[in-house]
Structure 1
Amino acid sequence: MIIQKERVSHMFRERIRQAYSRLSPNKKKVADFLMEFHHDAAFMTASQLARHLNVDVATVVRFAQDIGYAGYPALAREVQSLVKGELKAAHEFAAGKAKAESLFVKIMLEERENIEQSLMNIPADTVQQVVAILKAAKNIYIIAQGEALDLARFFATRLRLQGLQVETLSGDSVVLALALSGLTADDVVVGLGHSKFAVETAGAIRFARERGAKTVGLVSTHASPVAHVAESVILCPSKSMTPVLSFGSMASVMDAILQMIVLEQPDKAAEQQANFEQAYIELVKEQRENFVALEKDIARAG
C-alpha cells in the first residue's frame, strides 16, 4: 500500500515529463520549478506561483490543464500529498519509528525521482551530441574532485572497454597542467560537477574550451560551476533524504551514454569484448604457468 500511495503522489512528475517538449517557454518555467522545488510550490496558490515566476496566472492554470488536470488546484493537491508524505517520512526517521523496509522504498523512490527529472530536463539532441563527440574523440579526459573521482574512474573504465582513449584526472592543478597542456580540438574534456564546490574542475573545463577542446559537464544542479562553463551540460539531480548527495542519476546517465555508444557500433563493441576476454585468458594462463614454475623451483631448492 505504501508503494501505491507513493506512485499516485508522483504522477505529476511523469505527466510533466511526457508533456515537457510541447510546453511553451513560460510553461516550462512552471514545470522546472515544480520538479526542482516542489516543496516551495506545494502550498502556493496559482497567483502566488505566477508572481514568483513572473508569468501570468493564466499560464499556470493552462499548464495544469495541459498536463492532464482539471485545473491548478487538482495539481496542487497532488504535489501537497507528496510533500506531506516526505515530511511524515522525515519525522518518522527522526523519531526512530521508520521501519527499514519502508525507508528503503522511500529512498529508492527518491532515486527514481532524480532519474525522472534527468529525463525531463535533458534534451535528446544534447545526449546524442555527447555520444557523437565521445566516439570521435582522440583523447577523453574525465575530471572530478572528492568522492566523485571514484565515479569518474568507473565511467572511464567502461569507456576504455569500448576502445576509447580515456584518462581520469583529479582537480589537482599540477596533475591537470601536465595532462591538459597538449590539448587539441580533437580531444574531449568531461567535468563532473556533483557539488557546488567543483571549482577546480570548472577551471579545467574553461581552460579546455580556451584550447579548442570539446567540453561536457555532468552536473547535479545548474548552480554547479561546471554547468556555467561546459559547452554541453547534462543535469543529473542528486537530491537525497540525507546530507549525503545521491550519485544514482549521474551513474544512470553514464550507463545510458555507454549503452548508446555500444548500440551505435555493435561490431566494434563485440570485437573489443572478444579482445578483452582473450587478453584476460592469456594473462591468467601465463601467470598460472609462472606460478607452477615457481613452485617447482621452491621444491627443488628445498
Structure 2
Amino acid sequence: MEASNPEHQFVLQVQRLLRDGPLQNAEEGAICAAALSRQRLWEEALQLLVKNEFLKETAGLNAGINACRAGFQWELALHLAAEASATWDAVTYSMLLAACSRGSSWELALEFLRNAAHVGFARLSHVSSAAASACGRASAWAAALALAARDRDEAVLAAAIDACRRAQQWEAALALFGTLKSSGHRSAAGAGAAVSALAHGSRWEEALHLFESEFQLQEAMNPGIRGFAAALQACAAGGHWQIALSFLEEIERRQLPPDKRCFDIALSAYRKMPTLVEGGWTSPQWREGAVLTLSRRRCDCAPV
C-alpha cells in the first residue's frame, strides 16, 4: 500500500485506535473493521470487534463475518454467527450464505434460507441468489433450479444458470437463460454464465454466437471481465487463437482490470493452434514471441 493512499492512511488510524483506546459504537467499529478487511487484515478486524464487544450487535456481527470472508475463513464465519447473541438481519443471512458457498455447504445454505423465510428475508434478491450460488458451488444444480423456479428474480436466475454451468448442464443453463430473457430481464451475469456453460459443454460455436448477440451488438450489455473469460473459454475449446487475441485487445481497450485467468485461457487456445498455418500468417518464431508476451502480461495480473 502506498503511504499517500487515503485507504492506507485510514487503516493506519484504525491500527492506532486498536492500540490507544475503545471506539464509540458498533457502527463505528464496523466501518473500521471493513477498512481493515479490504486490506486483507482480517485478523486485526476481528481483534477490533472482539476487544470492543461489538459482536454482540448486528452491525458488529456482520463486520466480523465480512472479516472472515476476507480471510477465506468460512468455518470461522459460521462459528461467529452461531455463538453471537446479536440479531441477524438480511445482510447477515446473505453473508452466511456466501460463506456456505465458499465451503460448498449447500445443505447448510438451504437451512439458512429456510430460517430466513421465517423472518421474512428469503424473498430478498441477494439472499436467494446467495443460496443458489452456494448450491452451484457444490454442484447441487437441481437445488438451484428449484430456487429459480420458486423465485424468478434476475439475480436468482443468473446464479442458477451459473450452478448449471458448474455442473456441466448446458441444456438446463440455456433453458434458464431463455426464462430470464422471456421475463424481460437483461443480466450480464446470466448471459456470461450461459456462454460459459456452452463452452464447458463443448458447444463453443454456440457460445461465441451467444456472446456476440448479447454483448457485441449495438446497445448490448457490458460483459465485464467474467463475460470475457467465458468467451475466451469458448475460444480455447475451439482452438481459436486469433479470436482470443481480439478479445484480449478488447479487454484492454475497455480498460477493464487485468485478470490472470483470461491470459491463462488465451494461452490454452494458443497451445491448440497448429505449429504452422498454411498461408503463412504465423511462424514458430512469431508464436514463441507471442506466448512470451502473453506469459509476461499474465504474470503482471492478479486474479479476480
- Do they superpose with TM above 0.5? no
Q: Quick check: which has more Rg, 1 or 2?
A: 1
TM-score, normalised on structure 2? 0.23
TM-score normalised over the length of structure 1: 0.23
Higher-helix-fraction structure: 2
Greater relative contact order (Cα < 8 A, sep 6+)? 1
